[in-house]
Amino acid sequence: MSDNRLGLAGKFRYLAERARRIDIKSVAERAKEVHEQHGTWAPRAFADMLWSAARHDVAFQDYVDYDFAILTKDERATYMTHPVSMQLAARFAKKDKRVLFENKIEFNRVFDRFLKRDWLVVEAGNADAVQAFAERHGTIIAKVPVSHMGLGVRRYHAADVTDWAAFHRGLLERDELLLEEVIEQHADLAAVCPGTVNTTRVTAFFDGQDVHILAVAQKFGRGAVSDQMSYGGFYTMLHPEDGRAFGPGYDSHGHVHEKHPDTDFPIAAFRLPFFDDVKAFVKEVARVVPEVQYVGWDIVVTPEGPVLVEGNWGAGVYENKPSVTGIRTGHKPRYKAAIGF
C-alpha cells in the first residue's frame, strides 16, 4: 500500500485557516450546549473543544454531535471527524476530476447508466421538451447544477403549470437546469417517510484495486423534497455488514427521534433492503472515476434495487452518537484500515 499519511503541511495550513476564522461566540454557544446535554462545566468544555480541534482535528460541531464530553481519550480516537475527512478528500480527488461530482449535469452524464431514471437539461428553446418531460412523469425534480446540502432542489407538478413558456423561463432564471424523474423508493423506506425519497449515504474508498465500504448512514426526510438536515431531515447509522440501524435517529440540532415524527416508525427497527446489492452497486460505481477515490455516494433503494442519486467527493462525516445508541465507538478504524493514514 502507498504511503497515505496526511501531510503535516496541509494540516498546518488547515489549522491556520481555522484559527483565522474562529468564532469564539459560536464555540461558547456549543460549550453551553454541551453543558445542557451532559452537565459538563461550560468553560471546561470550551477549553476542551479548542484543544481537541488543535491537537486531534475535531471540529467544534463534531465535539457536540458525537458526545465527546462523555467519551474517554481512546473512545474519541475511534471517531472520524470532518477536518480529517476534508484532508482525505483533498488528497484523494484529482482537481480536474472534481467537477464531475460538483456539477450535477456532468455527474449525470458520466454516471447515466447507474441513475436508472429519466432526466433532461433545460436549455434555451426547449420549452416543448420540458413540457413533454413534465407531463410524461407528472411530478418532476428540478436541481441547480452546483449546490450543497440539498439546497437548490425543488419539486414541481405538471398539473399546476398553466403557462409552459413562463415555467421554462422561470427554470432558466432560477438556474434550475436539471430535471429528473422522481425515484420510486422501496416500500420499506416509504414506510418510514413516504413524502420524501430517503437516501442512503455510503462512504467508500477505492484503493486502485478494491473498494472499501467505510460507513453507511440512512437519512430520513420529513416530507420535503430533500432529506437533508436543512429540510428537517435526520439520520441513523447502519451496520456496514448487514444494513441494520444502530439505533434511533438524530441530527446536528439536538433532535433525537426514536420514532419518525410523522409515521411513528421505530427507527432502531429499520433495516435497509437489498443491502448486499447496495454494497455491490457502490463497488461498481466507485470504479467509474478512479481519480476520485474517496466519495460519499447517495443511493436510493427502489423496489428493483439500488439507484444512484449523486456522489460527493467531499464525503463529509456521518457517525454514531453514543448518548442515543449506547455505542461509544466510531468508524475511524475502518477508514484507517482501508486508507492507511
Reported as a single tens digit per residue, the pLDDT across 163-217 is 999 999 999 999 999 999 999 999 999 999 999 999 999 999 999 999 999 999 9
Distance from C-alpha of 75 to C-alpha of 322, rounded to nearest angstrom: 10
Q: How would you class 131 by CB atoms within 10 Å of its CB: exposed for 0-12, middle for 13-18, buried for 19 or more?
A: middle
Q: What is the DSSP letter of 192?
A: T
Residue numbers of the chain with a pLDDT score lower than 70? 1-21, 150
DSSP tally for the chain: helices H, then strands E:
15, 11
Q: Residue 173: its pLDDT value, please?
A: 98
Cβ–Cβ < 8 Å for 102, 308: no
Sign of the four-CA dihedral 181, 187, 192, 195: positive
In the chain, the amino acid numbered 253 is: H
Reduce the DSSP state of residue 197 to 3 states and report it.
coil
Q: What is the dihedral of CA 167, 170, 175, 178, to 10 degrees?
A: 0
Question: What would you report as the CA-atom Rg of the chain, rounded to the nearest whole angstrom?
Answer: 21
Record the pTM. Answer: 0.93
Cβ–Cβ < 8 Å for 38, 70: yes
What domains does the chain contain, in order, with CATH numbers? 95-105+185-313 (3.30.470.20), 118-181 (3.30.1490)
